[in-house]
Structure 1
């Protein structure tokens, strides 16, 4: 049972990390956004900060899940 919890935790981490890296690459590599605005380094930074803010919630969930897994593992 413990192994399944950890495997699922790692799979979810890899999923969220992949989505974040792809999103960051799209932001960094695009020259024009969906509205047709030419992307300057400042606008790319703002878009990246918005992406970071969007990923705070899944990050918090993963940290809480890690703590729960560690506590359950140490009690056995």
Structure 2
């Protein structure tokens, strides 16, 4: 594997771990930072906000994946 593929996989693993930790924090907390008791509806809203925040890194990773595929075609 080339270094750019290794870095791509490492970055993906980091983003997956961050998303999993953020999701577990959102779903397991009873009270948020403002002191509001979390209902299932508020937890779902917080989860949607978290997903929106992870859309930007996802787009970057997809662009990076396409770049890696095109770079591999030129090498072969």
- For Structure 1 versus Structure 2, the TM-score category normalised by the shorter chain is over 0.9
The runs of at least 4 aligned residues of structure 1 exceeding 4 Å deviation read none
Give the TM-score of the pair, scaled to structure 1: 0.95
What does 1:1-76 correspond to in 2, within 5 Å? Answer: 3-76=2-75
In structure 1, the residue corresponding to 2:2 is in which secondary structure? helix
Gap runs ≥5 in structure 1:
none
Give the TM-score of the pair, scaled to structure 2: 0.95
Output the CA distance in 2 between the equivalents of 1:54 and 1:11: 20
In structure 1, the residue corresponding to 2:32 is in which secondary structure? coil
Output the CA distance in 1 between the equivalents of 2:74 and 2:46: 43
Question: How many residues were matched structurally?
Answer: 75
- After superposition, the CA RMSD in angstroms is 0.8
